[in-house]
């Protein structure tokens, strides 16, 4: 018998409608009204794990929670970049799913857990877990779920710069989308292919893929996904304004844009034509502003923070340091709302890097560079991002050599 009263039904319907605007229609439909009610009650009890809290639930508390509640809790921690805590909660959720005999939930839990392992640089464990999840999804005969796992496996190969393997999985996502006639899946697949082509510096294919993703996302009313693709297009144009050696981000490099280049030593012929650079950065800022407008409208502080950081990086490349600093502060304000330490670390790293860059023309502040790199190091460590912490430590060591 349903426990959903007439007073509660509108809230459940609002959750489903919101999920669809963010391109999550198929996922939300896998949950019953009772599942969503349980989540609402848990969210009210925990207040969505107040972002300022660094504590995960005790083992005793987790024993009283369902696999669904644990999965949602772990995903929230993942979004806050609380990776070690997310790992602990999601592992418990996986155990609970097995205890409950819910194979579909096992797959759902494995997808974010695989991402956590990748973020913690345990790639073998990430791939092993996701291959097990893929086998489960195949056994269930759930093509949509198979596509979700292929999508995550592709993401992890992309992170490892294994682009040919990533493309294999992203093309499988597209094949499933075509088979099911599901434009939501197709939008995801094209967006991911655009990311791989961007990393390979294949401008034409990347733009074509991103534009297909934007068109499909608009068609199905997935505002958040539309904004994400605008941001990806902006990132693509921003990269095109960088000198050739800086267009490809080396493994473990933290900043997205503005890799440090010493004007005294870098060859002049690697520089982008100034007019072309301006055109590319103008295109980038237009795309970033489109993304920002949507993220602010739907009140997504985490993505709004990323959009502000992207804009800050573009204005930094334009040489407008004061504008960039204002935008970085807005990014940090939004990150504080969601308690995202890693996002804050990336911002502080960028600010430190910007101050360091300006030391060459005597406009930088070595103390501010050091202060921001140190903040980044601490925050990376708290988030469990070992690569980020190493990059910040390396930057601090290099600063000591020039101070």
d(CA 249, CA 62): 40
In which residue are the tokens 């050599």 written?
401
Structure tokens at 62: 């987790």
- Tens digit of pLDDT for each residue in 272-318? 688 888 999 999 999 999 999 999 998 889 899 999 999 999 999 99
Burial level of 288, CB count in 10 A (0-12/13-18/19+)? buried
Of 249, 224, 223, 221, the closest CA to residue 235 belongs to: 249
Weakest-pLDDT range from 49-53, 72-76, 90-94, 259-263: 259-263
- In terms of domains, do 155 and 228 share one? no
- Tens digit of pLDDT for each residue in 20-37? 655 666 667 777 766 776
- In terms of domains, do 236 and 169 share one? no
Instruction: Label residue 260 by pLDDT band (50, 70, 90).
Output: very low
Looking at residue 121, what DSSP letter applies?
A: T
Weakest-pLDDT range from 192-201, 219-228, 256-265, 345-354: 256-265
Q: Is residue 370 part of a domain?
A: yes
- Tens digit of pLDDT for each residue in 163-222? 999 999 999 999 999 999 999 899 999 999 999 999 998 999 999 999 999 999 999 888
- In terms of domains, do 297 and 386 share one? no
DSSP result, 17-43: HHHHHTT-HHHHHTS-HHHHHHHHHHH
Weakest-pLDDT range from 197-206, 221-230, 269-278, 380-389: 269-278
d(CA 306, CA 227): 11
Contact 285, 320 (CB under 8 A): no
- In terms of domains, do 244 and 273 share one? yes
Asked if pLDDT for residue 42 goes beyond 60, the answer is no
Asked if pLDDT for residue 70 goes beyond 70, the answer is yes
CA-based radius of gyration for the chain = 22
How many domains in the chain? 3
d(CA 403, CA 368): 12
Domain boundary among 162, 197, 217: 217
Contact 210, 194 (CB under 8 A): yes
DSSP result, 50-87: -TT--PPPPHHHHHTS-HHHHHHHHHHHHHTT-HHHHH
Q: Is residue 105 part of a domain?
A: no
Q: What is the pLDDT of residue 252?
A: 34
Contact 156, 115 (CB under 8 A): yes
- In terms of domains, do 231 and 290 share one? yes
- In terms of domains, do 300 and 230 share one? yes
Q: Is residue 151 part of a domain?
A: yes
Neighbours of 25 (CB within 10 A): 17
Contact 357, 258 (CB under 8 A): yes
- In terms of domains, do 370 and 350 share one? yes
- In terms of domains, do 369 and 284 share one? no
Q: Is residue 150 part of a domain?
A: yes
> 246-280 in b/e burial notation, b at 16+ Cβ within 10 A?
bbebeeeebbbbbbebeeeeeeeeeebeeeebeeb
- Tens digit of pLDDT for each residue in 352-376? 999 988 766 555 688 999 999 999 9
Asked if pLDDT for residue 8 goes beyond 80, the answer is no
Structure tokens at 139: 């056994």
- In terms of domains, do 201 and 233 share one? no
Q: Is residue 33 part of a domain?
A: no
E strand or H helix that includes residue 263: none
- In terms of domains, do 151 and 241 share one? no
Which residues form the domain of 243? 222-248+262-336
Q: Is residue 83 part of a domain?
A: no
Asked if pLDDT for residue 246 goes beyond 70, the answer is no
d(CA 363, CA 211): 39
Domain boundary among 317, 336, 355: 336
Domain boundary among 336, 359, 384: 336
Residues whose CB falls within 8 Å of the CB of residue 345, separated by 6 or more in sequence, listed in order: 375, 376, 377, 378, 379, 380, 383, 385, 388, 392
Asked if pLDDT for residue 2 goes beyond 60, the answer is no
Structure tokens at 204: 């034409």
- In terms of domains, do 234 and 320 share one? yes
For the chain, the first-to-last Cα distance in angstroms comes to 71
Output the furthest CA–CA distance in the chain (Å, rounded): 74
CATH number of the domain residue 200 falls in = 1.25.40.10
Q: What percent of the chain has pLDDT over 90?
A: 57
- In terms of domains, do 308 and 226 share one? yes
Q: Is residue 182 part of a domain?
A: yes
Q: Is residue 316 part of a domain?
A: yes
Contact 286, 310 (CB under 8 A): no
């Amino acid at each position: 018998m349903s426990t959903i009263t007439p007073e509660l039904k509108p809230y459940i319907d609002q959750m489903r409608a919101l999920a669809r605007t963010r391109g999550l229609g198929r996922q939300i439909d896998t949950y019953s009204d009772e599942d969503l009610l349980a989540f609402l009650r848990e969210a009210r009890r925990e207040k969505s794990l107040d972002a300022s809290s660094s504590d995960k639930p005790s083992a005793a508390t987790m024993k009283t929670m369902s696999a669904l509640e644990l999965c949602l809790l772990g995903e929230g921690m993942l979004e806050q970049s609380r990776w070690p805590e997310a790992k602990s909660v999601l592992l418990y959720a996986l155990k609970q799913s097995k205890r409950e005999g819910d194979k579909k939930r096992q797959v759902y839990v494995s997808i974010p857990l695989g991402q956590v392992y990748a973020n913690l640089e345990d790639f073998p464990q990430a791939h092993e877990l996701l291959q097990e999840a893929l086998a489960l999804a195949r056994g269930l005969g759930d093509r949509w779920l198979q596509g979700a796992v292929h999508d995550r496996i592709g993401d992890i190969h992309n992170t490892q710069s294994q682009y040919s393997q990533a493309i294999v999985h992203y093309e499988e996502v597209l094949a499933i989308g075509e088979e099911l006639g599901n434009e939501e899946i197709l939008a995801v697949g094209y967006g991911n292919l655009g990311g791989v082509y961007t990393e390979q510096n294949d401008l034409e294919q990347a733009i074509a893929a991103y534009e297909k993703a934007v068109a499909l996302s608009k068609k199905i009313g997935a505002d958040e996904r539309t904004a994400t693709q605008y941001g990806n297009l902006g990132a693509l144009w921003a990269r095109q304004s960088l000198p050739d050696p800086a267009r490809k981000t080396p493994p473990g490099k933290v900043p997205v844009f503005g890799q440090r280049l010493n004007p005294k030593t870098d060859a002049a012929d690697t520089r982008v034509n100034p007019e072309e650079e301006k055109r590319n950065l103008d295109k980038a800022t237009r795309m970033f502003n489109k993304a920002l407008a949507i993220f602010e409208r739907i009140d997504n502080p985490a993505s709004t923070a990323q959009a502000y950081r992207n804009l800050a990086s573009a204005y930094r490349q334009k040489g407008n340091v004061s504008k960039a600093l204002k935008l970085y502060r807005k990014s940090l304000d939004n990150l504080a709302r969601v308690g995202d330490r890693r996002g804050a670390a990336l911002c502080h790293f960028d600010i430190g890097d910007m101050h360091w860059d300006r030391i060459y023309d005597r406009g930088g502040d070595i103390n501010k560079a050091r202060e921001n790199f140190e903040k980044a190091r601490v925050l990376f460590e708290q988030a469990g991002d070992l690569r980020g912490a190493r990059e910040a430590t390396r930057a601090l060591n290099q600063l000591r050599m020039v101070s």
